[in-house]
Amino acid sequence: MGVVGGGQLARMMIPPAVELGVEIRVLAEAEGMSAALAATAVGDYTDLETVRAFARDVDVLTFDHEHVPQAVLRALVADGVQVHPGPDALQYAQDKLRMRERLGKLGIPMPDWARVENAEQLDDFIAEHGGRAVVKTARGGYDGKGVRVVTAAAQVEEWFLALDQDGGPDAGALLAEELVDFRRELSQLVARRPSGDVTLWPVVESIQKDGVCAEVIAPALGSAGKVAEMAAQIGTTIAAELGVTGVLAVELFETTDERILVNELAMRPHNTGHWTIDGSTTSQFEQHLRAVLDLPFGATGHRDPWSVMVNILGGPVEKSLDEATTLAMADHPAAKIHLYGKEPRPGRKIGHVTTGGEELDEVVFQARAAAAFFQD
Amino acid sequence: MGVVGGGQLARMMIPPAVELGVEIRVLAEAEGMSAALAATAVGDYTDLETVRAFARDVDVLTFDHEHVPQAVLRALVADGVQVHPGPDALQYAQDKLRMRERLGKLGIPMPDWARVENAEQLDDFIAEHGGRAVVKTARGGYDGKGVRVVTAAAQVEEWFLALDQDGGPDAGALLAEELVDFRRELSQLVARRPSGDVTLWPVVESIQKDGVCAEVIAPALGSAGKVAEMAAQIGTTIAAELGVTGVLAVELFETTDERILVNELAMRPHNTGHWTIDGSTTSQFEQHLRAVLDLPFGATGHRDPWSVMVNILGGPVEKSLDEATTLAMADHPAAKIHLYGKEPRPGRKIGHVTTGGEELDEVVFQARAAAAFFQD
């Protein structure tokens, strides 16, 4: 299996590849990245010849991220390379305007949205939605980047200016969305095989800080009934209708009036699924491998009644990473500590902690306390 | 961390190294071995300069096997290399006669045994023990090799002849042991840090076929009381008194008259501990890493009431490894299938399956049924 991109998602595919006897190779952006252990090539994933050379010796190509250009993906498919997820599906994860248009046709519940090509259109949208809107660049955003809450079009003036200079087929527009009055954020993780099988993990609750996933509670509280059913239905429909192969994360808003709305899609293992490494019979990374290799799916049940994942972000820390790790391990022997082999920088995701157990308050406390050693 | 030896034990250290952010390097015996993904060097582990060159760039040296010669180990220690387990401990795993002598001094319960230097001494031992004995070469045996049940010294004639040609400090003798009338075989897995901390997993039952571990049931049935206490006491004593650093497996006989006797020692992760990857909060491989890096230990509780591991041996199989994997996955979605990246050969350990759950009969059935796809 070849993975384009050498970040932590590629890194976390290594353990299940080792366990399942799958040979894994990574095309990394640079030396010394998170997935360096499996990196057999270093190069630019936007360059067709680089990716083509890497793909020559693998049976299946998959991804650490969604940024490989459509032109490259389509050339690889034309070469006969097995690409999962394929370009037809990936376009909806690469372009938020296309995603909104497509989900709209499928009748998937979403926030109100509009394609806005200029300041006038955006100001109209803001006026129609209580004086506020969420504005997103169609492409290239992640972890809160390319997303802004505004009360006037002037607040994203430079994004409109950049559009004019872009010139691509989808250039010329931003995505405006209503600011949803949500109770909480949920995430529905799904995996789909090329042969069509779909499997799901129970819907989880994701707690964001500054636009970045900070904490995940699995399963989402009180999710046994209607909420879980709606989330599962939405996830299954999107995976099947968009032809996703591999893991799909559907980020959802649960509104105060008890609707479930699709916020974002990610067609790869996702931060809201890291808890599955320790908390589910089959992790999202193992399932992604099984999916892209078209192997039968593993069971997705919870191993503990509750699992909690807390991200470890780099910050202004007095102690070294080794010292923090030692202290966290000493105080929290049952916490599963995951580090991505990255140098800590303020706000950078460098790892995560997962805990599991029967009492949610204790499970949350242990995960937060273990992660805190890396931030204090 | 540097690992000498590129077999499946080194391979199974890769996932926890990846999870914990530990850089792992392997000195493999050849290209294409199980741990090839982490192999940064290929060479002869009996050659001091080869091992010395490998050790130069690692902080801690540990092992996939116990076969690195004492002279090499002691030279590395003299160089200042952190070697875990160290040569003082490893000698008892390398030489069964030394092990018996040392455990005898510690008062550890063992089968009757004797150092036999010639056929007469062995025949005397056989006569004193009901006409049968187990004869073992002091060194180099594993998985039933170097072990023979005999009724007369003539049945190991070639071993005595080989002794005469050996000439090393421990040459000149075989180990004779009484054939123990045992009810079952147990294994006590222990880990010890250089700083002295010791941790244990619950004692397990190991079912051998043709001298090779075939199946492990964790915990051992009916082991909550005295048996578990005795096994834990023996394991802790041996780890501490022999100064073991890393994982230690103590293979035990439970006799029909309810004694616990030490059969063998292994100073490394062990086949009877593979169930811990899926069945314990901390696997033996993660704990071995924590031990040799002198990090605080992880919790060793069971994740399921019962875990069962069944080895996958190569055999005369109609289908390919890929076909067998696909069939096993399809029928047993909750089974954890582990493959070592080895070409199947009759009798060769190429992987294992672990299952877990609340009903032992179901857990055993699932593990055996999944493994059977690889052997039929």
* Inter-chain CB proximity A329 and B295 less than 8 Å: yes
* Inter-chain CB proximity B18 and A23 less than 8 Å: no
Chain centroid offset of residue B200 CA: 15
Q: If you measure CA to CA, which chain A residue comes closest to B356?
A: A281
Assess whether A238 and A358 both reside in one domain: yes
Question: Residue A319 corresponds to which tokens in the numbers above?
Answer: 């102690």
* Inter-chain CB proximity A326 and B15 less than 8 Å: no
Element (H, E) at B133: strand B133-137
- Over pLDDT 90: what percentage of chain B? 86
Q: Is residue B217 part of a domain?
A: yes
> Is the dihedral angle over the CA atoms A164, A165, A169, A175 positive or is it negative?
negative
**Closest chain A C-alpha to B110 CA, distance in angstroms:** 34
| Residue A222, pLDDT score | 82
* Chain segment B223-272, per-residue pLDDT in tens: 668 899 999 999 999 999 999 999 999 999 999 988 999 999 999 999 99
* Inter-chain CB proximity B330 and A296 less than 8 Å: yes
Binding site per annotation, positions of B for ATP: 96, 136, 177-180, 185, 263-264
Cis peptide before A85 (omega within 30 of 0): yes
Domain containing residue B42: CATH number: 3.40.50.20
How far is residue B277's CA from residue B247's CA, in Å, rounded to a whole number? Answer: 14
Kindly list the residues from chain A whose CB atom is less than 8 angstroms away from the CB atom of residue B362: none
| Radius of gyration of chain B, Cα coordinates, nearest whole angstrom | 20
* Inter-chain CB proximity B338 and A20 less than 8 Å: yes
How far is residue B250's CA from residue B268's CA, in Å, rounded to a whole number? Answer: 11
The answer to whether residue A212 scores a pLDDT higher than 90 is: no
Assess whether A291 and A354 both reside in one domain: yes
Angle, alpha carbons A191-A196-A201 (nearest 5°): 25
Going by pLDDT thresholds of 50, 70 and 90, the confidence category of residue B311 is very high
Going by pLDDT thresholds of 50, 70 and 90, the confidence category of residue A144 is low
Assess whether A45 and A164 both reside in one domain: no
Q: What is the DSSP letter of B374?
A: T
Closest CB to A295 among B296, B326, B338: B326
Domain containing residue A131: CATH number: 3.30.1490.20
* Domain end marker among A152, A177, A202: A177
Contact A271, A311 (CB under 8 A): yes
Question: Residue B120 corresponds to which tokens in the numbers above?
Answer: 């007469």
Residue entry with tokens 């640079």: A30
* Inter-chain CB proximity A330 and B296 less than 8 Å: yes
What residue type is assigned to position B227 of the chain? V
Q: If you measure CA to CA, which chain B residue comes closest to A331?
A: B296
The answer to whether residue A113 scores a pLDDT higher than 70 is: yes
Kindly list the residues from chain B whose CB atom is less than 8 angstroms away from the CB atom of residue A33: none
Q: Is residue B106 part of a domain?
A: no
Pairing of strands A113-116, A82-83: unpaired
| Residue B257, pLDDT score | 86
What residue type is assigned to position B19 of the chain? E
Which backbone phi and psi does A122 adopt, to 5 degrees? Answer: -65, -45
* Chain segment A262-304, per-residue pLDDT in tens: 999 999 999 999 999 999 999 999 999 999 999 999 999 999 9
Domain containing residue B262: CATH number: 3.30.470.20
Chain centroid offset of residue B36 CA: 21
Assess whether A168 and A240 both reside in one domain: no
Q: Is residue A128 part of a domain?
A: yes
Assess whether A167 and A211 both reside in one domain: no
* Domain end marker among A66, A83, A100: A83
Contact A154, A119 (CB under 8 A): yes
Q: Is residue B335 part of a domain?
A: yes
Which backbone phi and psi does B263 adopt, to 5 degrees? Answer: -95, -60
The answer to whether residue B12 scores a pLDDT higher than 90 is: yes
Q: Is residue B168 part of a domain?
A: yes
Q: Is residue B92 part of a domain?
A: no
Domain count of chain B? 3
CA-wise closest residue to A94 among A170, A163, A9: A170
The answer to whether residue A58 scores a pLDDT higher than 90 is: yes
| Residue B168, pLDDT score | 54
The answer to whether residue B142 scores a pLDDT higher than 80 is: no
Q: Is residue A257 part of a domain?
A: yes
Check residues A344 and B166 and name the one with the higher pLDDT. Answer: A344
Binding site per annotation, positions of A: 96, 136, 177-180, 185, 263-264
| Residue B145, pLDDT score | 77
Q: What's the mean per-residue pLDDT of chain B?
A: 94
Q: If you measure CA to CA, which chain B residue comes closest to A277?
A: B19
**Could you give the dihedral angle defined by the CA atoms of residues A264, A267, A273 and A277, in that order, rounded to the nearest 10 degrees?**
-170
**Angle, to 10 degrees, between the axis of helix A321-331 and the axis of helix A360-372?**
150
* Chain segment B271-289, per-residue pLDDT in tens: 999 999 999 999 999 999 9
Per-position DSSP letters for A348-361, written without gaps between them: -EEEEEEEEES-HH
Assess whether B365 and B218 both reside in one domain: yes
Assess whether A362 and A318 both reside in one domain: yes
Assess whether B235 and B354 both reside in one domain: yes
Pairing of strands B25-28, B2-4: parallel
CA-wise closest residue to B129 among B144, B119, B115, B114: B114
Closest CB to B340 among A21, A337, A339: A21
Q: If you measure CA to CA, which chain A residue comes closest to B343?
A: A21
Assess whether B172 and B186 both reside in one domain: no
- Over pLDDT 70: what percentage of chain A? 96
Region of residue B163 (phi > 0: left; psi between -120 and 50: alpha; otherwise: beta)? alpha
Q: What is the ipTM of this complex?
A: 0.93
Q: What is the mean pLDDT of residues A39-62?
A: 97
Least confident of B129-133, B171-175, B291-295: B171-175
* Chain segment A237-249, per-residue pLDDT in tens: 999 999 999 999 9
Kindly list the residues from chain B whose CB atom is less than 8 angstroms away from the CB atom of residue A290: 329
Residues of A with CB under 8 A from a CB of B: 11-12, 14-15, 18-21, 23-24, 37-38, 277, 281-282, 290, 295-299, 301, 303, 321, 325-326, 329-330, 333-334, 336-341, 351
Assess whether B221 and B336 both reside in one domain: yes
* Chain segment B158-186, per-residue pLDDT in tens: 999 888 665 554 558 999 999 999 999 99
Q: What is the mean pLDDT of residues A344-351?
A: 90
Closest CB to B21 among A23, A336, A341: A341
Angle, alpha carbons B238-B243-B244 (nearest 5°): 75
Residue ranges of alpha helices (H) inside B26-134 are 48-55, 70-79, 87-94, 96-105, 119-128
* Inter-chain CB proximity B329 and A281 less than 8 Å: no
* Chain segment B23-70, per-residue pLDDT in tens: 999 999 999 999 999 999 999 999 999 999 999 999 999 999 999 999
The domain of A40 spans 2-83
| Residue A178, pLDDT score | 96
Q: What is the DSSP letter of B203?
A: P
Q: Is residue A231 part of a domain?
A: yes
Mutation for A interface: B19, B201, B285, most A CBs within 10 A: B19
Q: What's the mean per-residue pLDDT of chain A?
A: 94
Assess whether B40 and B9 both reside in one domain: yes
| Residue B165, pLDDT score | 66
In sequence order, which residues have a C-beta less than 8 Å from that of residue A78 and are 6 or more positions away?
Answer: none
* Inter-chain CB proximity A290 and B326 less than 8 Å: no
* Chain segment B325-369, per-residue pLDDT in tens: 999 999 999 999 999 999 988 889 999 999 999 999 999 999 999
**Closest chain B C-alpha to A96 CA, distance in angstroms:** 32
Question: Residue A179 corresponds to which tokens in the numbers above?
Answer: 């600011």
* Inter-chain CB proximity A24 and B37 less than 8 Å: yes
Assess whether B213 and B298 both reside in one domain: yes
* Domain end marker among B177, B206, B229: B177
Closest CB to A296 among B12, B38, B329: B329
How far is residue B154's CA from residue B118's CA, in Å, rounded to a whole number? Answer: 10
